[in-house]
Amino acid sequence: MDKNRKRMETMHRMRAKGLELFYQKGYHATSIDDILKELSLSKGAFYHHFKSKEDFFISITQHIITQKVYAMLVEPLAQDRSPVSMIIDTVTNALETAEHNSMDRGFMLGNFLTEFNRGDNEIVQYLKDILKIWEINLISVLKNGKSDGHIARHVNCEEVATYIIASFMGIRTMMVGNNARMLKYQYLQQLKTYLYALEQEKEIIV
């Protein structure tokens, strides 16, 4: 039991440090030697746990990136309240972490999708699956909002979800190395205007 726990702790430490390096330098610019140096590991120790650098990154995607994106952008949507305010709060909180992070390099998932999107490989599929989870949950929240009378019936939920995802990924890129606070404010003001326009108008009873 202790041996298994130690192995899991070692793998978690390797994944966490690997993700930090890949995020800061990029996957292709990070070598196995870079990883080994940061972790003070031998090549034998690394290959005891992972078959290759690609296998290592897939493990990071499955165990860390998926959890991070889910906790930040999917889990907050599972609340029993107005979908518009819920989406706005979720995006606001996600941008808040970036605004105050001096090591910020953009939206992690977006960065890796851009880096790997040059070809159709296993890593791209894993990353796209994470994005799909976010998209599906946004669509579900919006459709439930239509059923509950919060969102206007004419709204195309799939199109709205696409816009939210694309605009979020775009503003995260713009915030890197620029006036993050001002950009966040400007983006959220326009996002709120857009989302509030989707709400079902309430009948005024006189």
Tell me the whole-structure pTM to 2 decimals.
0.89
* Helix ranges, the chain (H): 2-25, 32-39, 43-49, 53-60, 66-69, 83-99, 108-116, 122-147, 157-175, 180-196
Task: Summarize the confidence of residues 68-87 as an average pLDDT.
Answer: 94
Residue 69, pLDDT above cutoff 90: yes
| Start-to-end C-alpha separation, the chain | 70
* Token output for 90: 């979720």
**φ, ψ of residue 178 in degrees (nearest 5):** -120, -170
The CA distance from 139 to 161, in Å, is 6
Q: How confident is the model at residue 203 (pLDDT cuts 50, 70, 90)?
A: very low
> Which residues contact residue 21 at a Cβ distance below 8 angstroms, ignoring those fewer than 6 apart?
30, 34, 35, 38
* All domains in the chain, ordered by first residue: 57-196 (1.10.357.10)
Residue bearing the bigger pLDDT, 6 or 206: 6
* pLDDT tens track for 123-159: 999 999 999 999 999 999 999 999 999 999 999 999 9
Sign, CA torsion 75/107/100/142: negative
Q: How confident is the model at residue 98 (pLDDT cuts 50, 70, 90)?
A: confident
Say what the pLDDT of residue 87 is. 97
